[in-house]
Amino acid sequence: MFMNDNLPGVYTARRKDNSIYYRASLTCRNKHISLGSFNDRAKAHQAYLEASGLLSDPSAGIDSYTDEASLPFEKWVVLCNFRDNEVYIPNPIYVRPKLFYYFFAPEDFYIFSREDLFYYSAHKIQRRGSHCFVSDYGSQINILSRYGIHAHSVPGRDYRFLNGNTQDMQYSNIEVLNPYHGVIGGDAAGYTARIHINGYVTVGSYENAIIAAIAYNKAADICREAGMNRQYPMNYIDGLSAKSYADIYTSLTISETVRLKAVNHKA
């Protein structure tokens, strides 16, 4: 239950344990905007004043934010975007004509292509160390998967940022060097396929990434046939006919170590 606190934009509320806290909010362009919850009445009012001032002052940008502000940084970004672009997005996004910024701090942000705006407007990015993900249908989805980059991929080996900026996530800036599971290499030595059976096991070395990817698939099939419960992701080879795939698959020699480890694996 919320009760007007007599301070503009501040409402008193009670938690389930009956303790009091304060909600701050305002209305702009017929949009009711929640500014957050506060334990301190004065801080809630200060957040309301900061938000009101931010919406009326176009010269106050995202870089104007300081740690002394009562308003949470995410809300600061949301209000700047709402003021300048007349669109309310609940996540800390600032839209530009051909791209948008997703902020974590004033100098910590990702740059995305505009075609991803709808997705990230509805999906909040979370970070755990260097791992960035969104929650989607109950699963944690690595944001790199939108580019066809697998969770095990290594920057510089399997993909690269063309301009060297690892925070520039625009499609034009990301080049996928190796889109396949279980494949490493791509140098003068060729490509190596490997699979995890109580540790990584080399499947074999091959002249190109497609053959190595099919070799990994064949090794995964051997593991399943041996009764292993591990869920191995399979490689889909775009543009290769079923006959061509079958011909390569049949002709491939798989390391005997893979067969032995698969048969003798610990369930």
Residues 136-157: tens digit of each pLDDT: 888 899 999 999 888 778 888 8
Claim to verify: residue 194 and residue 170 sit in the same structural domain: no
In a domain, 81, yes or no: no
| Cα distance between residue 31 and residue 18, in whole Å | 30
* Distance, CA of 147 to CA of 139 (rounded, Å): 18
169 in the same domain as 100: yes
In a domain, 57, yes or no: yes
Looking at the fold, whether 59 and 97 belong to one and the same domain comes out as no
Q: Which domain holds residue 5?
A: 1-75
**pLDDT at position 4, please?**
65
Domain end (from 48, 75, 102): 75
Residue 249's pLDDT band (boundaries 50, 70, 90)? Answer: very high
Q: What angle do CA 24, 29, 32 make, to 5 degrees?
A: 30
172 shares a domain with 99: yes
Asked if 183 and 209 count as a contact pair (C-beta separation under 8 A), the reply is yes
| Of 224, 186, 230, 220, the residue nearest 206 (C-alpha) | 186
Model pLDDT, residue 5: 64
User: Residue 89: helix, strand or coil by DSSP?
Assistant: coil
Residues 166 and 97 in one domain: yes
Cα(58)–Cα(41) distance, integer angstroms: 27
Same domain, 106 and 170: yes
165 vs 117: CA distance, rounded Å: 20
The reply to whether 82 falls in a domain is no
Q: Which of 59-63, 129-133, 211-215 has the lowest mean pLDDT?
A: 129-133
In a domain, residue 23? The reply is: yes
Nearest alpha carbon to residue 214 among 202, 223, 203: 203
| Domain closes at, from 75, 101, 127 | 75
pLDDT more than 90, % of the chain: 73
* Residue 209 · residue 186 · CB < 8 Å: yes
Model confidence at 105: pLDDT above 80: yes
Query: Is 206 contained in some domain?
Result: yes
Edge-to-edge order in the sheet of strand 200-206: 183-187, 190-196, 200-206
pLDDT band at 110 (very low <50, low <70, confident <90, very high): very high
Cα separation of 112 and 121, whole Å?
Answer: 12
Residues 5 and 66 in one domain: yes
| Residue 154 shares a structural domain with residue 199 | no
In a domain, 125, yes or no: yes
**CB neighbours (10 Å) of residue 261?**
19
Same structural domain, 3 and 63: yes
- Identify whether 110 is part of a domain: yes
In single-letter form, the type of residue at position 115 comes to E
Tally of domains within the chain: 3
- Edge-first strand order for the sheet with 126-128 is 126-128, 131-136, 139-142
Tell me, yes or no, whether 9 lies in a domain: yes
| Whether residue 165 is found in the same domain as residue 236 | no
Segment 69-89, tens digit of pLDDT: 999 999 999 999 999 999 999
| Burial classification of residue 156, based on how many CB atoms lie within 10 Å of its CB (0-12 exposed, 13-18 middle, 19 or more buried) | exposed
Q: Averaged over 115-138, what is the pLDDT? A: 92
pLDDT digits (tens, 9 = 90+) for 1-52: 556 667 889 999 999 999 999 999 999 999 999 999 999 999 999 999 999 9
Domain boundary among 75, 103, 126: 75
